[in-house]
Structure 1
Amino acid sequence: MSFQHHLFFCLNDRSNGEDCCDRHNAFALFKYAKDRVKELGLSGPGKIRVNKAGCLDRCADGPVMVVYPEGIWYTFIDTEDIEEIIQSHLIQNRPVERLQLA
C-alpha cells in the first residue's frame, strides 16, 4: 500500500538528559497532525498516513518530521506550524520553505 504523503514524527526521548524531540512537545504536535488529517478526511489508503518514529538523528533541530515520498524534513514549534504544513504541503502540494531543514 502506498500513500500520497507519509509523515514520520520523531518522538524519541533521551533518558540521559540530552536534547531530543520529546522535550519539544513532539508527541502533542504528532497527535494534532494525526487528528487533524483524520478530521479533514485526508487519511486512509492512498491518502495520507501520519506515523510515530524513533530517533531520526536530527536532535539539535527538533522537533522534526520527514514527509515522503518527497523526503522533505521539517521542524516546527506549535500547532500553527503543523496546520501550515497540512494546508500548504499536504493539501496544495506546496512545501513550506520557512519550516524546512537543509
Structure 2
Amino acid sequence: MRAGTVVLPHPAGTHCAFLMDEGRSVSVRAWNEAAGLYDILDNPLGPAVVAQDGTSAFRIDGEALTQAAWDAHPRVRAARQGDLSGYPRPNWTPPG
C-alpha cells in the first residue's frame, strides 16, 4: 500500500497534508505566517510524518517528540477539545 493512499487526520484550515517521495510518505505541516507557507512539521491530531515502511514521527512546532510526550503536549490536548487557537490560520483560500 502506498502511504499516499492514506491521508493523515489533521486540522483543516491551519494544517495541510503533503504527499512526498512519489507517494511513499505523507507529512502534515502547520501554517507559518511569517513565511506565508505551510512549512512547519506539526500535527496535533496524529503523527506529522508517516512513511510507507510504517515509520512515523510525532512533531509539534517542528520539534520531534516521543509519542507519549506528544500525547501530553498542551496543543495536542487543546486540539482534541477543538481548540486550535494556538495556530494561525492562513489569510487566503486554497485552490480547488
The TM-score bracket by the shorter chain reads: under 0.3
TM-score w.r.t. structure 1 length?
0.26
Greater share of residues in helix = 1
TM-score w.r.t. structure 2 length?
0.27
Q: Which has the higher contact order (CA 8 A, sep 6+)?
A: 1
Greater share of residues in strand = 2
